A and B are shown apart, each in its own frame.
Chain A
Amino acid sequence: MTTVPVVSSSITIPSIHYLAILPVIILLGASVVLVFATALVRTKVTQFVASSVTVAASVAVLVVTYFQWRCLDSSGPSTTIAHAIVLDGFSVVATGVVAVSLLMATLVAHDWALRERIVGAEYQILALAASAGAVLMTQANDLVVIFLGLEILSLGLYVLVAFDRHRHTSAEAALKYFLLGGFASAIFIYGAALVYGATGSTNLSTMSYFLASNVLTHPGLLYAGFALLIVGFSFKIAAVPFHLWSPDVYEGAPTPVTGFMASIVKVGAFAAFVRVLISALGTQIDTWRPILWVLVVLTTVVGASVALLQRNAKRMLAYSSINHAGFILLGIWAGTTRGVASTLFYIVTYAPTVVATFAVVTLVGGLGDENHSIGGYRGLARRQPWLGASMCVLLLSQLGAPLTSGFYAKYSVLASTIDVGGSPLALIALLSAAIAACFYLRWSSALYSDEPVEATRIVVPLSTGIVIGVGVAMTLVFGIWPGPLVTLCQHATLLFTP
Chain B
Amino acid sequence: MIATSYAVPSIIVFVGAAIIIIVGALGVITFKNPVHCALSLIMTLFGVAIAFIAQQADFLAAVQIIVYAGAIVVLFLFVIMFLGVDRTDHVHVEPLVAQRPLAALGVVITLGGLVALMAQSHWVTGVMSASTDGKPLESGTANVHQLGTSVFTTYLFAFEATAALLVIAVVGAVLLARRERTLQADEVEV
| Chains A and B directly touch (beta carbon < 8 Å) | yes
Contact (A152, B168) CB under 8 Å given A144-B158, A201-B126 = yes
Does chain A have a CB within 8 A of B116?
yes
Excluding A159-B176, A218-B121, 10 further A-B contacts by CB distance (< 8 Å) are A12-B153, A13-B152, A117-B184, A117-B189, A132-B164, A155-B165, A159-B172, A162-B176, A217-B122, A220-B121
Nearest-Cβ distance from residue B125 to partner chain A, whole angstroms: 5
Closest to A83 in B: B154
Measured between beta carbons, the chain A residues less than 8 angstroms from B33 are none
Residues in A whose Cβ lies below 8 Å from that of B169: 155
B130 within 8 A of A: yes
**A274 on interface, CB distance cutoff 8 Å:** no
Interface check A294, CB cutoff 8 A:
no
Q: Mark B107-144, 1 if CB is under 8 A from A, else 0.
A: 00000010011111111111111100000000001100
Number of interface residues of A (CB under 8 A): 66
Q: Mark B165-186, 1 if CB is under 8 A from A, else 0.
A: 1011101100110001111110
Residues B141 and A202 in contact, CB atoms below 8 Å apart: no
B190 contacts A by Cβ under 8 Å: yes
Known interface pairs A81-B156, A219-B121, A221-B123; A145-B161 also in contact (CB < 8 Å): yes
Q: Do B167 and A32 touch across chains, with their CB atoms under 8 A apart?
A: yes
Tell me which residues across on chain A come within 8 A of B142, comparing CB atoms: 5
Asked if B31 is at the interface of the complex by the 8 Å CB criterion, the answer is no
Closest to B152 in A: A11
Interface segment out of the listed A192-200, A317-325, A370-378, A400-408: A192-200
List the B side residues contacting A24 at CB < 8 Å: 164
With A and B bound together, what is the CA distance between A28 and B129 in angstroms?
A: 32
Which residues on A sit within 8 Å (CB–CB) of B167?
A: 28, 31-32, 35, 129
Residue numbers in B under 8 Å from A219 (CB-CB): 120-121, 125
Q: Does B157 contact A (CB under 8 A)?
A: yes
The listed residue with most B CB atoms (<10 A of its CB), out of A7, A32, A125, A220, is A220
User: Which residues of chain A are near B32, meaning CB under 8 Å?
Assistant: none
Residues of B within 8 A of A217 (CB): 122
Pairs across A and B, CB under 8 Å, 17 listed:
A11-B153, A12-B153, A24-B164, A31-B168, A82-B153, A84-B154, A117-B183, A117-B185, A119-B181, A119-B183, A119-B189, A151-B165, A155-B165, A196-B126, A197-B124, A210-B126, A220-B121
Contact assessment for A14 and B156 in the assembled complex, using a CB-CB cutoff below 8 Å: yes
Find out whether the CB atom of B124 lies under 8 angstroms from the CB atom of A200.
Answer: yes
Given contacts A11-B152, A81-B157, contact A155 B172 (CB under 8 A): yes
CA distance A81 to B155 in the complex (A): 8
Using a CB–CB distance below 8 Å, which chain A residues touch chain B?
A: 5, 7, 11-14, 21, 24, 28, 31-32, 35, 44, 46-48, 81-82, 84-85, 114, 116-119, 122, 125-126, 129-130, 132-133, 136, 142, 144-145, 148-149, 151-152, 155-156, 158-159, 162, 165-166, 196-203, 206, 210, 214, 216-222, 224
Interface centre among B154, B157, B165 (most CB of A within 10 A): B157
CB-nearest residue of chain B to A160: B172
Contact A13 B168 (CB under 8 A): no
Whether a CB of chain A sits under 8 angstroms from the CB of B30 is: no
Most chain A C-beta atoms within 10 Å of own C-beta, residue among B118, B162, B165: B165
Using known A-B contacts A116-B182, A117-B182, A126-B175, determine if residue A152 contacts B161 with beta carbons closer than 8 Å. yes
Of A158, A166, A218, A224, which contacts B180 at CB under 8 A? A166
Which residues in A have their C-beta under 8 angstroms from that of B122?
216-218, 221
**Number of B interface residues in the complex (CB < 8 A):** 47
Q: B145 touching A7 by the CB < 8 A rule?
A: yes
Rounded to whole Å, the gap between the CB of B137 and the closest CB of chain A is 14
Q: In the complex, what residues of A have CB within 8 A of residue B161's CB?
A: 136, 145, 148-149, 152
| Complex CA distance for A48 and B188, rounded to whole angstroms | 13
Residues on B with beta carbons closer than 8 Å to the beta carbon of A145: 157-158, 161
* Cβ–Cβ < 8 Å partners of B157 in chain A: 21, 81-82, 84-85, 142, 145
- Say which residue of A81, A201, A222 sits within 8 Å of B130 (CB atoms): A201
Whether B149 is near chain A, meaning CB under 8 Å from some CB there, is yes
Say yes or no: A224 contacts B153, CB within 8 Å: no
B96 to chain A, nearest CB (A): 12
User: Judging by beta carbons under 8 Å apart, are B156 and A82 in contact?
Assistant: yes
Question: CB distance A220 to B120 under 8 Å?
Answer: yes
Q: Within the assembled complex, what's the spacing in Å between the Cα atoms of A155 and B168?
A: 7
Q: How far is the CA of A224 from the CA of B172 in the complex (A)?
A: 33
Q: In the assembled complex, how far is the CB of residue B84 from the closest CB belonging to chain A, in whole angstroms?
A: 20
